[in-house]
Every structure is written in C-alpha cells, then in structure tokens.
Structure 1
C-alpha cells in the first residue's frame, strides 16, 4: 500500500438531467455533450424514447444506438459497452427511467418474480450492476430521467389564471442523483434548469439558467483544473498582478469563493490602489493613501 497526493486528472463526469416530459431533456443533454467534446462524432445517444433524438439530427452527426424493450439492466450495460468500444467521448442515456419502470425494467422484473419484498434480493444486484457500469465507464456519461408530472393553477402576467406543468419526483430508484457529479433539474417548459446536486461548486447558489454548450465547456475546464490546497489558493491570490487576473482566479475556483472572500477583496483593493494614478506623484514615487 502507498499513499499519494490526490490529483484531478482524466476525470469522467457523471451528469444527470431530469424533468417532466417536454421540458427539453434530450436537447439539453446534446448541448451539454457538445460543450464537453466540440465534436459531434464523438457523442453517442442510447435512445429509449422511440427515436425522438432524431428530431435534433440537424445539430450535428452524432451517433445513435436504439434500445428497445425489454429494458433490463443488462441490456443497458451492453449498450454502454458498445459505445465504449466505439471510443465515444460522451454517452447520453436517454433515458434511464425505462431501466427502472419500463417494459422489462426492474419494477416489472420484481413483479414477475412474485412481487414480494424478498424478491428485491434478486433485482437489486442487477440494478446496482447498471449503476456501477455508469460509474466505471471510460467516457463522460449524461443520463436523462423523467419526473412525475403535477399541475398547478398560477396567475399569469396578464392577470389571468393558467395551468402550469411541474416535474416532481424522479422516476428511477431513489438515491441515484447522489452518484452523480452534477444533477440538473429542468423546472419548466422554458428549459430553465437548477442543480439538486453539484460536486463541482460551479452552479450552487446560481440563478436558474438554460443549459447550453457553454455549460459543457465550463464543466470540461473544471475537469482539467488541478485542485488547490488552502495554502495554494492563498499563494495564487497574492501572485495576481491585475484585477482581471484576480477575477479570473475567483471564477476558476468557485469552491474557494466563500472561504477566501476576505482575501480576494483585500487583494482587489490593493490592486485598485496600484492602478490609480492619483496614488503616485509626478516623479513616480508612491503617495501615502492611508
């Protein structure tokens, strides 16, 4: 056994996008994937949605693997392995809901075994093998998940009541999102998204937004940045020679934004003083600003 320092290298993202039907999960996943690769030919979609992904063929020449029932965990695993052998950089599983509640999925398998609680002892390992395959794949994985639909009567901007569709609980086994790097929830038919899980810190506390290729690029940049220690970020802050470089560092490491807010602010004030011509005399010597 040997201890070694942790490094962020060759990170493969596990991203989830969930939402009600019609909220734009597939399109958002494709945009996210393109941002991660910049090459449509390196993207594969495992399509369980009756070729609905073909609606977006105008975006680029991505690859599609049609997966039909039975939607057993083993067939999903076989589809992922097919994409791995083809050296795909991003695999979109659209969607994982069928593995749980579709024809031949885990719920139906348990029912066919007798529907008893003890029958889960045979089904759970099969489902876990599917989760393990997602986690161990040698490419980025994006999963889409349907959410149960609910409706509410809201007041529109014109003062009239209107029916609004909402996504509620994800239709997959509870706890799946905790396996993901980031889990995006698309909250309405305007395609606005928020995060329910975010290990990167890039989206936590941010306003709702529309997922696009820039989102994927931001995540790819995060993959390629070496994590800094507390001592390391202190050094990097002090080494900044301009406010623009300081802001670049601030945005690059969102996990330090709260803990080092005072250090960033102090350095910003110092740099602004240095760039202010009123703080220097005509012969170039510094003027005391205290």
Structure 2
C-alpha cells in the first residue's frame, strides 16, 4: 500500500501571516515587531517592493534587506524567498506583496499584455494564474515564516432599498489574488484609525488556538510573535504568554436577539453594548451583520427625522 498512518503529533510547522491595510495603518512596523518575536536572534529578511521604504526602519530594527524591482512576477517572489532562506533567514517579510497582483509586471499586467497580443479573455488569465498557483505551492513548502504586507482598498456597494439608492461601506479589502488569503495561518486588517492594532470587525482569519495571542485593542508586537513561534514549534506558550481562559459565551439565538434589540435602540447603544462583547461573540454576529446594519440605518433615519421636526409652538 502507498499510505502509511502514524499517530498525529504536534511538531514544527511554518507560518504564513498576512497584514493588510491602507497607508498609515502600521503594516510594516507591525510586521517587524512580529518578526522579532518569532526570531529573537534577528534572522529576518525584508524583500522590499516599495522603492526601499523598508530602510526607513533600519535604525529601529535589525534585518537583512533586498530591493526588489519590477517586473513583479510570481516566480521572482519565490526566488527572493529562497535567497533569503539561503542567507539564513528564519522570517521573511514581503512588503508589499500586493505588487504580485496589481504592481508593474504583476499578474494583472501580465494578463493585460496577453490580451493586447490577441489572447482572448479568459485565456489571457491562464498563464498568470498558473504562475500564481505554482508560487503558492512553493510558499507552502517554505520552512521560514513568511509575513506578507498587503495594501487594502476601502470597498463599497451600491444598493437599492426602500425606493432609495444607498451606498453601503464594505470595509477595507486586501489587494491580492482572491484565494491568496485562504492559505494564511492568520491574517489581519489594520486601519489608519488604530494603527498596528488588529481589527476584528474587518476581514481577518484567526484560528481558535491563536485567538488569545492577539488581544482586542492591543498592538501586534513581539509578544504576539513569541506566542506564535512557541505554537509553531509544537509547544505550549509559557504561562506568562498563555492567553487568558475563555469566557462563557452567550448562546447564538440569545446573542442575535440582544443584538437586534440594541441595533433598534440606535447606533450609540449598539456600539456601547458591542464593546463589552468577547472577540468570539463579535465574530458570532457575522451571519446577521447585514441585517444589523439595516436596523442601525433605520434607527439613524428615525433619529434624523426627530431632529428635523419643528418644535411645537
């Protein structure tokens, strides 16, 4: 037989971490702090696609630096990571990895170039997507920890409700190939409003065993990296680094009911209540997020109507 089974044992695994956000959201600084926690010896390599902007942090952090220039083809990122591993890096930061998707010579440019030469869509995407797929296979086999810094855009959707056209914000979305984030061990969206702090109300991926490593409202720092590194080695974080015990969670139907009640009461009441929830409870509201936003919009509209009504004589 070609399959051999053995008892499953936790052992060393590699980490793929993505930090997405707009300019000023603290992606690069957070990546360096996280990397220093994962590799206290400073075996960190920085692949810089941003015209050497990574060097702005050279007086604050210790790392190897490589200036990557266009074209930003998938295979060039693989080449850079392999060179970093040969140089002894335990952690490789790629900033900005969004260039692989929409940078000069990235897969979008590549597909456009093929279209201009007469290759019809979707055929013009076949070769770039295959190169991206091969790159992902190589990244998943990498033994170093990879930290990807990604740009993000604030997306909106235009909907028609109640006879009115409404613009609904969808939040910050990372700029990358649409399946890229699924391969991450963990991913976070950072906001310029709260630089360096993970926002669990924005797109993110955190497994249950990692949730306590990233406390709500706290910046991503060296301690987060230490906890991740201990987990990746197959060990358990020391008591000083261990997450606090989980709190009892409200049942889903009860949580949904209270959330709807608070949303009908108005945005201020809802946000005040939501701030007191655990991270798990906040995530548990995702299935009714659109409904809650509609209720909040209705509450805002009622408040505006009351404000605009003239006072009785």
Q: Which residue of 1 is the match for residue 129 of structure 2?
A: 124
Q: Which residue of 2 is the match for residue 179 of structure 1?
A: 183
Contact 2:172 2:189 in 1 (8 A): no
Q: Which residue of 2 is the match for residue 170 of structure 1?
A: 174
Q: Which residue of 1 is the match for residue 209 of structure 2?
A: 201
Name which of 36, 39, 50 aligns with 2:38: 36
Describe how 1:1-290 pairs up with structure 2 within 5 A. 1-40=3-42, 42-114=43-115, 116-149=121-154, 168-191=172-195, 192-194=197-199, 196-199=204-207, 201-203=209-211, 206-226=215-235, 248=239, 251=242
> Structure 1: how far apart are the matches of 2:53 and 2:171?
20
Once the 2 structures are TM-superposed, how far is the Cα of residue 249 of structure 1 from its aligned partner?
A: 11
Q: Which residue of 2 is the match for residue 155 of structure 1?
A: none
5+ residue gaps, structure 2, are 157-169, 250-313
Once the 2 structures are TM-superposed, how far is the Cα of residue 130 of structure 1 from its aligned partner?
A: 1.7
Once the 2 structures are TM-superposed, how far is the Cα of residue 167 of structure 1 from its aligned partner?
A: 6.0
> Structure 2: how far apart are the matches of 1:66 and 1:178?
27
Once the 2 structures are TM-superposed, how far is the Cα of residue 251 of structure 1 from its aligned partner?
A: 4.0
Bigger radius of gyration among the two: 1
> Structure 2: how far apart are the matches of 1:217 and 1:23?
22
The 3-state SS of whatever aligns with 2:124 is helix
Distance 1:51-1:249 versus aligned 2 partners, 3 A rule: closer
Aligned residue pairs total: 225
Once the 2 structures are TM-superposed, how far is the Cα of residue 226 of structure 1 from its aligned partner?
A: 4.8
Contact 2:155 2:173 in 1 (8 A): no
Once the 2 structures are TM-superposed, how far is the Cα of residue 202 of structure 1 from its aligned partner?
A: 2.3
> Structure 2: how far apart are the matches of 1:112 and 1:147?
24
The 3-state SS of whatever aligns with 1:203 is helix
Contact 1:7 1:226 in 2 (8 A): no
> Structure 1: how far apart are the matches of 2:180 and 2:145?
17
- Across the aligned residues of Structure 1 and Structure 2, the Cα RMSD in angstroms comes to 2.9
The 3-state SS of whatever aligns with 1:80 is helix
The 3-state SS of whatever aligns with 2:8 is coil
